[in-house]
Amino acid sequence: MKILFVASEMAPFAKTGGLGDVLGSLAAAIQGLGHEVSVFMPRYQRIDIREWELEPVVDYFEMIIGNHLEATRIFLKKLANGVKVYFVEHPDFFMREELYGTSLGDYQDNDRRFIYFQRAVLKAVQELDLQPDIVHCHDWQTGLIPVYLKKPGIEYAPFQKARSFFTIHNLAYQGNFPPDSFPPTALGWEYYKSDYLEFYGKFSFLKGGLVFADEITTVSDRYSKEIQSKEFGCGMEGVLAARNESVTGIVNGIDPKEWDPETDLDIAAQYGAANPAKKKLNKAALQKENGFPSDENIPLLGLVARLVDQKGLDILIPLLEKFTQQNLQFVLLGTGEEKYHQILRDLAKKHKKGFGVHILFDAKMAKKIYAGADMLLFPSYYEPCGLGQIIGLRYGAVPVARATGGLADTIQEFDLVTQKGNGFLFEDYSSEALYTAVVKALKVFKQEKVWKGLVKNAMECDFSWTASAKKYSKLYETVKRRTVKVEKT
């Protein structure tokens, strides 16, 4: 089948978190199953035409969006794995330092940027006559596409046979904007009602995907259930419950070749499940880089994450002072909200010994932490899937995580008696519960032989896309056969 992905980010071109990773590796895995995969994403400033050898394939088309005439160019990059990536270029919207905003907040015109993006994608698919069987949209930035595909009159030839998928990578990011952002969608006010796109006095891109897509998926089984509850539904629980029959959880994978400590040249020494001994050289390197005492017996804890409320920083931060008084080392890499940057920088100034804070986005440093840390912390309040723990497991960094969403689905509590399990979980969203789990992990760490077994368990977990990509493929086939397009309005 011809599968068309639409997303706001994709590794290796541009990524701010797990969404980008998933797009890169899922596209490759679906292509690997014999489908023809194309991806549309914006050409951000950081995606250099020459460096990536992008080929212009559509030379300028113009569209009137709102009161503006917008000009678009489309570039193509054919990846070695067969996936075709199309880039939507606009002279202003994407020529910026960041993808969505800075630490001070979102770009003010994200509504216009992503309305434009989606309409430009639809037009480009028409220009290129791509004829997809499935249009698979990811997160709020693409939530209007399923609406357009169902809109009478917009079903021009390239989309006649298309069915739409919408994957929720994170329900909390909804793209909700005031009603005066709505007209540039050209959808007509009949779409601005509570059954459709209206959401508590705003218009919601995400709701478009949830109401209009033929099938909805999300990135772990547990999260697919959590989001139908009031606590995690972010106001959309009713919409999701109404579509319960069409909501499936499929856990994310990683590309095992991309995240492979045996071949990873960004880390100090290569190692794997069969030869784990050299992991300690990575720990020594990480200790040195952070100015920590070099001692393999001191447990080294890491955290790599976007620094936003979801990631559980409010339960972690009160513990950090406590950590500094113990015989452990802690290294954090992340970027996000200014309030967290401040607190963490202040703590780092106060405690230099064994406490490393890096407020930046740095893919290589992330790998060094995955390779060098003994444990990684995931105190998330909620976590749709989480890739950090999956990558960490592959690199033998044992997760200490809250039992929520994909963390609960991918981590099994280590059992001292059976020696089974790959990490440590806690239930309550509290500093005390997190601390108890860390203490438990530290106790096991002291038992060298047992810890080695646990690290082996972690590294032997299989989180390649093999099983999950097959589930998507099967669902594409089912939906393609099953769905009769219902014209709304």
The count of chain residues that interact with ligand ADP, using the rule CB under 6 A, is: 19
Cα distance between residue 13 and residue 143, in whole Å: 22
Region near ligand ADP per CB under 6 A, out of 97-105, 145-153, 203-211, 361-369: 361-369
Q: Of 198 and 309, which CB lies nearer to ligand ADP in the complex structure?
A: 309
Q: Which helix (H) or strand (E) holds 366?
A: helix 363-372
Measured from the CB of residue 399, what is the shortest distance to ligand ADP in angstroms? 11
17 binds ligand ADP (CB under 6 A): yes
Q: Return the residue of 379, 388, 396, 405 that touches ligand ADP, per CB under 6 A.
A: 388
Q: Return the residue of 154, 241, 363, 439 that touches ligand ADP, per CB under 6 A.
A: 363
Q: Of 85 and 366, which CB lies nearer to ligand ADP in the complex structure?
A: 366
Q: Return the residue of 6, 7, 10, 18 that touches ligand ADP, per CB under 6 A.
A: 18
Cα distance between residue 246 and residue 216, in whole Å: 6
Q: Of 26 and 366, which CB lies nearer to ligand ADP in the complex structure?
A: 366
Q: Supply angle C-alpha 45, 114, 46, rounded to 5.
A: 10
- What is the three-class DSSP state of 196? coil
Closest CA to 146 of 210, 86, 65: 210
Cα distance between residue 475 and residue 213, in whole Å: 13
Q: Return the residue of 387, 393, 403, 407 that touches ligand ADP, per CB under 6 A.
A: 387
Measured from the CB of residue 418, what is the shortest distance to ligand ADP in angstroms? 28
Under 8 Å between Cβ of 94 and 81: no
Cα distance between residue 336 and residue 308, in whole Å: 6
Under 8 Å between Cβ of 88 and 41: yes
Q: Of 349 and 364, which CB lies nearer to ligand ADP in the complex structure?
A: 364
Q: Return the residue of 386, 396, 399, 405 that touches ligand ADP, per CB under 6 A.
A: 386
Region near ligand ADP per CB under 6 A, out of 42-50, 58-66, 345-353, 387-395: 387-395
Measured from the CB of residue 393, what is the shortest distance to ligand ADP in angstroms? 12
Q: Of 148 and 382, which CB lies nearer to ligand ADP in the complex structure?
A: 382
Burial 411-426 (b: 16+ CB within 10 A, else e): beebeeeeeebbbbbb
Dihedral of the CA atoms 265, 334, 167, 99 (nearest 10)?
-90
100 binds ligand ADP (CB under 6 A): no
- DSSP helix, strand, coil percent of the chain (3-state; round to 5): 40, 20, 40
Binding letters toward ligand ADP, positions 281-310, x by CB under 6 A: -----------------------xxx----
Residue showing tokens 């999701």: 240
Cα distance between residue 471 and residue 220, in whole Å: 12
361 binds ligand ADP (CB under 6 A): yes
334 binds ligand ADP (CB under 6 A): yes
Cβ burial of 6 (10 Å; 0-12, 13-18, 19+) is buried
Q: Return the residue of 289, 362, 413, 460 that touches ligand ADP, per CB under 6 A.
A: 362
Burial 371-403 (b: 16+ CB within 10 A, else e): bbbbbbbbbbbbbbbbbbbbbbbbbbbbbbbbb
Q: Of 38 and 110, which CB lies nearer to ligand ADP in the complex structure?
A: 110
Region near ligand ADP per CB under 6 A, out of 18-26, 36-44, 96-104, 194-202: 18-26
Closest CA to 481 of 1, 40, 146: 1
Region near ligand ADP per CB under 6 A, out of 31-39, 179-187, 357-365, 435-443: 357-365
335 binds ligand ADP (CB under 6 A): yes
- Maximum CA extent, the chain: 68
Q: Of 304 and 455, which CB lies nearer to ligand ADP in the complex structure?
A: 304
Q: Of 182 and 378, which CB lies nearer to ligand ADP in the complex structure?
A: 378
Q: Which amino acid is at 163?
A: R
Measured from the CB of residue 375, what is the shortest distance to ligand ADP in angstroms? 16
Region near ligand ADP per CB under 6 A, out of 82-90, 108-116, 360-368, 423-431: 360-368
Residue nearest to ligand ADP (CB): 18
Q: Return the residue of 21, 214, 226, 409 that touches ligand ADP, per CB under 6 A.
A: 21
Binding letters toward ligand ADP, positions 391-430, x by CB under 6 A: x---------------------------------------
User: Looking only at residues 186 through 225 of this chain, which bind ligand ADP when binding is defined by CB under 6 A?
Assistant: none
Residues in CB range of 461: below 8 A, 6 or more apart: 390, 393, 394, 410, 422
Cα distance between residue 381 and residue 255, in whole Å: 26
- What is the three-class DSSP state of 49? coil
Footprint on this chain of ligand ADP (rule: CB under 6 A):
17-19, 21, 304-306, 333-335, 361-363, 366, 385-388, 391
